[in-house]
Amino acid sequence: MEWQTLHNSPSLPPLYLRAALKRNISGTTLPDCGLRCPVRVNPRAVEAYRKVCGFADGPMLPATYPHILAFGLQLQLLTAKHFPFPLLGLVHLRNRMRILRPLGAVSEVQVSVHAQNLQPHAKGATFDLITTLDDSLGRLWEGESRMLCRGAKLAGESMDQPLQIIDPLNELLRWQVPTDIGRRYARVSGDYNPIHLSALTAKLFGFPQAIAHGLWSKARALAALEEHLPIVNIEIEVDFKKPVRLPSEVILSCSPPGSNGQWQLKGAGDIEHMIGQWKPIG
């Protein structure tokens, strides 16, 4: 793996322009390279993120906040000329993260991103976007996002195994997802994907309504589950199912608190939006 080290987080507007201009698949091989960058944590930005996602105030960074710290690097990697798939149209299928040490008193970290594990899929090809956070003491957090590129052609069959609900789940909470949550989340995350911003921009990409960011839905669910989960030595995995249309009501059901458990996010008509699970690392 060849690593390129940046001195600052990339500026997002030029990367959005790159993304808009690249519409075609240019290959079926992932680049053997990654990006690294020191990133400073902004307490005001963390506070704004907490409010949008429903996290309570506290000394620990929200478990999902590293996604925000890494977004610029991820965007630069996925819009690079040698990356074979166009960013627009990628579908986030699964997300896994591991919290290795407490995310307290975190002020500056090194963020690293790369792509690996290109695999065939019934609808195209998938790859894993790998993100890590390190501080002066070593590894803090690891993330893995399974992305689907529709239309890419690889030989072989998909070996992916979706999560299955095996625990009895009880309703924990329900909430209204407002029409503007896509715009509000974009302001704290930097992710201005048009399918999340308004019905008008979503229709340009074939969606009848705007849909919530998958990582917002995950963060909102984990905010509601904070009292259920350990704060360290935990692996959290989610499968994204049907998108949450804006506006709508969703229902969160989960296992009892403990070292292992599952949860499910559903909408009207029993539509399944997300399945998640947590377990100890190792």
Tokens of 49: 């993120």
SS3 string, the chain, reads: CEEEECCCCCCHHHHHHHHHHCCCCCCCCCCCEEEEEEEECCHHHHHHHHHHHCCCCCCECCCCCHHHHHHHHHHHHHCCCCCCCCCCCCEEEEEEEEECCCCECCCEEEEEEEEEEEEEECCEEEEEEEEEEEECCEEEEEEEEEEEEECCCCCCCCCCCCCCCCCCCEEEEEEEECCCHHHHHHHHHCCCCHHHCCHHHHHCCCCCCCECCHHHHHHHHHHHCHHHCCCCCEEEEEEECCCCECCEEEEEEECCCCCCEEEEEEEHHHCEEEEEEEEECC
**171-190 per-position pLDDT tens digit:** 999 999 999 999 999 999 99
**Cβ-contact 76, 115 below 8 angstroms:** no
Extract the residue ranges of the chain whose pLDDT is less than 50: none
Q: What is the pLDDT of residue 208?
A: 92
Q: Is the dihedral of CA 153, 86, 32, 101 positive or negative?
A: negative
Looking at residue 156, its pLDDT comes to 85
Give the per-residue pLDDT at 280: 96
Q: What is the pLDDT of residue 166?
A: 87
Determine the pLDDT at residue 94.
97
CB 38 within 8 A of CB 113: no
Which pLDDT score is estimated for 282?
79
Tokens 């904070």 belong to: 226
| Domain ranges within the chain, ordered by starting residue | 1-161, 162-282
Nearest to 99 by CA among 257, 236, 237, 263: 236
The pTM of this model reads 0.95
What pLDDT is recorded for position 39? 97
162-282 topology per CATH: Thiol Ester Dehydrase; Chain A (3.10.129)
Q: Which superfamily does 1-161 belong to?
A: Hotdog Thioesterase (3.10.129.10)
- Identical topology for domains 1-161 and 162-282: yes
